Structure 1
């Protein structure tokens, strides 16, 4: 029995600003800092390979002294809206009703809400009262792929069922106003807000790329590399500068054994559906693949157009491939990285 991805749909927040238009706000935030430091920070924003980003709050409000409570309240309110809009779009693409979904997985790491997002969606969309729900809250950027992986395993065990994965993230709500560290600066320069939903099915007659295999790869002794610290001021980003180098070191072990287990090599993969973690990570991955004649142009485009939206970002890349009407038999490799440190992989066949 096969499990297929039948639809993907994104939803962007209502606020948007080009990077060049954010720079004056960054300069205002940097008042009182050394001139050399100011120039360095502005250069980081200009060279982040992000032309535009979207956010759940007006960019001016990001740089105000709002409390963790105030920002988290905005996160809850706007996340529910974005998730409902995104899931409705995905259901429309798949020509389904909300009551056709048997399993819902919601993914987010940039705010805190209990009950979790799925409970709100079940009520607002009047989904099944016996729907199975799973919130995934602490896997960071990797969780978009993780959610699909969990949905696939549920559907594999349950023929003629459907699942929805909804990833919504608002990294702008985690910006630390009084933190002038490079980690806070770099995360502000590369991250944006966004939401995306995926519909999966174990109905044989429904079409879409089939999930042929999936797997996780865990890096030992790397818990310090990525994540959040919970402060009185909110969720403070943890992002070690060694992340790109660590990924490059492990990359052969992440890719080649996984493909070999499925009788393939990287030369057999037609499409790379990779999460754009940031300019340095994108460059690292691109360098590793350029000799094989592969490109990650869609990954770079998503980073440029929207920034890194944590778990939702790889789903934006996936939507671009879904919209291309790819030939039957084409293969794709989904890959994302997240706190732990871990890599999540999915092998697709159209």
Structure 2
């Protein structure tokens, strides 16, 4: 059985409160219609994000550069963040880097070939026979995808260790000349960050067990979320109907999955949800609030860091790992991403 044994996070060097960002947004939109400017400022103010971190200072974010220049910063900083967060998780757990059997790296906000895991092999001295799996192009859902792949690796082999390293910089995808509402919303909610989850199939090791994991793919929904690759970089695709589509599918996403693993939403103690944005958080709250379920940790991560794509739900998971939870308590991890898809993991402490 695979267990999650440690979760660590690493933040980029730059940060700004939303209120400090608003003057930059006003200057950026100076040539746009006043009504549009007011609307965008309200989106920033009402996004539920108080602070966000970035791999670039804000002056650099709002400076016109090429895709090549922005991606070079992404590559440099993802290497640094990935190395630091994996090293931190290993030290927290008392593991050596060469004890890992599997290394899964997750990112969708830039292009890096070789992928991050190849650099981690060299930088931290992972074994030459470590199994590498880079997970790309799965967006916000990919952090949970990484957990699913790790659980499947470990379930097939006892006494093994795995690391999932997620690094993202939505800041690197910001489009200075794109005044679409998708770009406005993404600029208002996204931030940068990194996380690492260590998992093990060893005996007598502490941590919540992965009881079940599944993906759920929506039909005819590939248009809802993703990136267009343009000459200026990765251009956000974000359909405003996403919260409504999630709500319409929620019963099919949650209830059959839990039933298959001998439980129900009433028996699940903790909701570990990806904070995709204020509207999605509200949607989930409306669906589960009447059952007495809290998503306060999800809301708090959005407030403190913004949406860091695949990384974000792992920050929520870290908060639950720090709690003194009782034996037998269950947690449901859930995230959504391009495809359109939902990824689910059931935990038991």
* TM-score tier after normalising by the smaller chain length: over 0.9
- Aligned residue for 1:90, secondary structure, equals helix
Aligned to 1:204: 203
- Aligned residue for 2:266, secondary structure, equals helix
- Aligned residue for 1:208, secondary structure, equals coil
- Aligned residue for 1:267, secondary structure, equals coil
- Aligned residue for 2:56, secondary structure, equals coil
Aligned to 2:252: 253
Aligned to 1:336: 335
Aligned to 2:71: 72
Q: Find the aligned partners of 1:140 and 1:33 in 2 and give their Cα distance.
A: 30
How far off its partner does 1:196 sit?
0.1
Q: Find the aligned partners of 1:262 and 1:135 in 2 and give their Cα distance.
A: 29
Q: Find the aligned partners of 1:37 and 1:197 in 2 and give their Cα distance.
A: 39
1:252-280 deviations in Å (ceiling 9; x for gaps): 00000000111111010000000000000
- Aligned residue for 1:189, secondary structure, equals helix
Q: Find the aligned partners of 1:273 and 1:91 in 2 and give their Cα distance.
A: 23
Q: Find the aligned partners of 1:4 and 1:199 in 2 and give their Cα distance.
A: 9
How far off its partner does 1:66 sit?
1.0
Q: Which stretches in structure 2 are left out of the alignment for 5+ residues?
A: none
Q: Find the aligned partners of 2:66 and 2:173 in 1 and give their Cα distance.
A: 11
How far off its partner does 1:189 sit?
0.2
Aligned to 2:155: 156
1:138-180 deviations in Å (ceiling 9; x for gaps): 1000000000000010011111110000000000100110011
- Aligned residue for 1:268, secondary structure, equals coil
Aligned to 1:129: 128
- Aligned residue for 1:260, secondary structure, equals helix
Aligned to 1:37: 36
Aligned to 2:185: 186
Q: Find the aligned partners of 2:237 and 2:32 in 1 and give their Cα distance.
A: 22
Runs of at least 4 residues off by over 3 Å: none
Q: Which stretches in structure 1 are left out of the alignment for 5+ residues?
A: none
Q: Find the aligned partners of 1:326 and 1:184 in 2 and give their Cα distance.
A: 39
Q: Find the aligned partners of 1:95 and 1:286 in 2 and give their Cα distance.
A: 38
Q: Find the aligned partners of 1:254 and 1:18 in 2 and give their Cα distance.
A: 35
Structure-to-structure mapping, 1:248-327, within 5 angstroms: 248-327=247-326
Aligned to 2:61: 62
How far off its partner does 1:227 sit?
0.3
Q: Find the aligned partners of 2:90 and 2:270 in 1 and give their Cα distance.
A: 25
Q: Find the aligned partners of 2:58 and 2:322 in 1 and give their Cα distance.
A: 31
How far off its partner does 1:325 sit?
2.3
1:228-260 deviations in Å (ceiling 9; x for gaps): 000000000000000000000000000000001
- Aligned residue for 1:168, secondary structure, equals strand
How far off its partner does 1:327 sit?
1.1
Q: Find the aligned partners of 1:196 and 1:110 in 2 and give their Cα distance.
A: 15
How far off its partner does 1:95 sit?
1.2
- Aligned residue for 1:109, secondary structure, equals coil
Q: Find the aligned partners of 2:15 and 2:141 in 1 and give their Cα distance.
A: 24
Aligned to 2:92: 93
Q: Find the aligned partners of 1:172 and 1:260 in 2 and give their Cα distance.
A: 39
- Aligned residue for 1:178, secondary structure, equals coil
- Aligned residue for 1:241, secondary structure, equals coil
- Whether 1:173 aligns to 2:175 is no
Q: Find the aligned partners of 1:53 and 1:288 in 2 and give their Cα distance.
A: 27
Q: Find the aligned partners of 2:60 and 2:334 in 1 and give their Cα distance.
A: 33
Q: Find the aligned partners of 1:255 and 1:32 in 2 and give their Cα distance.
A: 46
